[in-house]
Amino acid sequence: MKNKEPLILAVVVFFTLVTYYLVEPFAHSQMHKHVESESFAYADLPAIQKQGDVTRGQELVMGAGACTGCHSINVVKVPATMEPQMAAASYGVNPPDLSNAGAIYDPKFLAAMIKNPAHALMVEHKFDADAGKMHPMVPFYGAGGDIDQEIADMIAYLQSIAVKAEEVTPIMAFENACGRCHAVSYENWTPIGAKPNFKDKKDSLAFDIKLLEYQDSLKAYMGKTPPDLSMYIRSRGEHYVSTFIENPQSQLEGTAMPRVGVTPEAAEKVIEYLQDAGDTKRHEREEIGMSVMIYIVIFALFAFLWKRKVWKDLH
């Protein structure tokens, strides 16, 4: 009698795969918009033409550029002018510390940001200067010379004080680019910083009140409280998160979330941070997965040899 098992197996596998294809890849391609990554090239922003000068940049950042009126630069001992919740009450969100801005953000983006924040952040639908709605960050109108040269100088200075690109850590990139709006409770992160382990309940509550005040301002500024990102790597997936960081409008038109302008390397660090939060055991899963797969192949092999021996007597 002819052995029909290969044919039966083929039929079972075929229908299983067809069903899988229809309910997973195909259905999801129909349900979700597909957005291609542009590798964080920011092609819409003009390239920096001028060679920047660090010393002149420093003078501008500290002086005529008036950056330090709102931004702290801890690495050169320029402190924040006020506490986060007070800053948020004034600006909507706590302005970032600029110590490592030169390493985390794309230079083209920084240049565009200094010149026209609402444009660089892609939030012109919210902050329309013509309609009198200004972005809280005041654009730099130049210090009297060639404005493009001055901006190049400032960026050269910011890059000179920042850590090297390869020294950017996941938490550094995340805190700077995302962490002033988003909490990641599973990593104990709040938009006003990691919550310390207070011994006294009073201190803990005081921190919470500051956080709530901060989030109230943030909500008024953004339209809603930005979500906690603890599980976003699993609820949205790496591709979605990555393209969303690159250009929020591409995935969610009209969103209040600004483009953050991180470099491709910093974006990878942000993703790594989110993986540590929401898919903490991924390395262990892959390691154990490999051992289990090897074991189970051996198991199947021995089962096959046993079957062959037993069935030799049956035919």
Residues that bind another protein (CB under 8 A): 1, 4-5, 8-9, 12, 15-16, 18-20, 22-24, 26-27, 30-31, 186, 230-231, 234-237, 278, 280-281, 284-286, 288-289, 292-293, 295-311, 313-315
Nearest approach in angstroms of CB 71 to another protein is 34
Nearest approach in angstroms of CB 282 to another protein is 9
* For another protein, the closer CB: 12 or 129: 12
How far is 233 from 2, CA to CA, in rounded Å?
Answer: 51
How far is 241 from 244, CA to CA, in rounded Å?
Answer: 5
**Residues 179 and 270 sit within 8 Å (Cβ to Cβ):** no
* For another protein, the closer CB: 125 or 307: 307
- Please list the alpha-helical segments (H only) found in 48-166: 54-62, 84-91, 101-104, 107-115, 117-120, 147-161
**147: nearest Cα among 211, 64, 40:** 64
Q: Which residues contact 188 (CB under 8 A, 6 or more apart)?
A: 194, 195
* For another protein, the closer CB: 24 or 44: 24
Q: Which residues contact 254 (CB under 8 A, 6 or more apart)?
A: 125
* For another protein, the closer CB: 169 or 306: 306
**Residues 191 and 179 sit within 8 Å (Cβ to Cβ):** yes
DSSP code for 199:
S
Nearest approach in angstroms of CB 310 to another protein is 4
**Residues 199 and 177 sit within 8 Å (Cβ to Cβ):** no
* For another protein, the closer CB: 75 or 298: 298
Nearest approach in angstroms of CB 1 to another protein is 8
Nearest approach in angstroms of CB 64 to another protein is 46
* For another protein, the closer CB: 27 or 212: 27
From residue 91, give the alpha-carbon distance in Å to each of 4, 68, 123, 185, 249.
73, 14, 15, 24, 22
